[in-house]
Amino acid sequence: MNIIISGGGGVLGHHISDELSLRGHRVVAFGKNLEARNNALISRVRANVNDLSSLSTLPSDCDVMIHAAGVSRVGLCESDPQSCVMTNVVGTLNVAEWCLKSPKRPWLVFLSSREVYGNPQRIPVSESEPLRPISIYGASKAMAETLIKSLGSRGLRYIILRLTNIYGSLRDHPGRAIPSFIGSALRNEPIVIYGGDQVLDFCHLVDFLKAVTKLVEKISTEPESVACETFNVCSGNGHKLIDVARTVIRLADSTSTITIKEPNPYDTRSFIGDYSKLRNATGYVPEIDLYSGLKMYVNEMKARTKTDL
């Protein structure tokens, strides 16, 4: 299939591009900040989702558009809500309209977030849970979802993926929870946690990529089974944030201590996702438990640290 990926220079866009190209798809990655890549199987186009006219440079033979571009850090959206809304809402609308106007009317696979649920009333959280975002980031994703669904009446074929916390990438922002914990532990510095008693669902990058590839396969073989559907992508297991930090310290053989600070008012207190809908549609079952995933991640970050010395 011919697949275009927005945010191709971002964390998830980068990995999706690599995974799908290795599986034989023709991949075009676009974004406003694209690095040079050794992967000759991936074409690169410089374009900005906030500028609808720049999307005209994208190839017209697209079968699937995976929309991974966006402002994805919750705290950054709180400090700069206008940029968040411009990229996550207006940018998504631009991509969706491009899909509708493109000759082949490609599918839109939108990477949303579990932040749209806010603090859910029921655990585990299914896709039918009401959307009550408590952060600007969550609200921007919820608004983008609403726009996409409304364009379904005009013929847009879409899939919405509500992602839990995806971890395991060496490209991830060092300020995110798990990369931050590991980085501090490897330096034997205090690990700072805002709150600590939050119970969150962590999904390894490998399992996330498996979910994406299975859905792309379904678009190719049984499109009606996933058309205009929303799916949680998660592990189905919850872990206290402070316990995650303690595990990282043990795995890193670190002398780090843990410092607890007041939680941010926009942080979700509890989330454990239900992936049964995705399992029933595609056969998706996450394989990497958190301990194993953290062990791999610690070793990979440790190896990179030694290389950088």
Res 307 pLDDT > 70: no
Burial class (CB in 10 A: 0-12, 13-18, 19+), 125: buried
108-127 mean pLDDT = 97
- Tokens found for residue 135: 């952060």
The DSSP secondary structure of 203-265, one letter per residue, reads: EEHHHHHHHHHHHHHHHHH-GGGTTTEEEEES-S--EEHHHHHHHHHHHTT----EEEEPPPT
The whole-number pLDDT of residue 72 equals 87
The whole-number pLDDT of residue 304 equals 86
Q: Do residues 232 and 114 make contact, with C-beta atoms less than 8 angstroms apart? A: yes
Res 143 pLDDT > 70: yes
203-214 mean pLDDT = 98
214-230 mean pLDDT = 97
The whole-number pLDDT of residue 219 equals 98
Mean pLDDT across the chain, nearest whole number? 95
265 preceded by cis ω (within 30°)?
no
Lowest-pLDDT range of 29-43, 139-153, 257-271: 29-43
The DSSP secondary structure of 107-122, one letter per residue, reads: EEEEEEEGGGG-S-SS
* Distance, CA of 92 to CA of 102 (rounded, Å): 15
Which residue's structure tokens are 């705290």?
A: 75
Domains of the chain, each with CATH number or no CATH: 2-167+203-236+272-287 (3.40.50.720)
CB-facing half-sphere around the CA of 306: CA atoms within 13 A: 5
Contacts of 124 (CB under 8 A, 6+ apart): 236, 272, 273, 274
The whole-number pLDDT of residue 309 equals 46
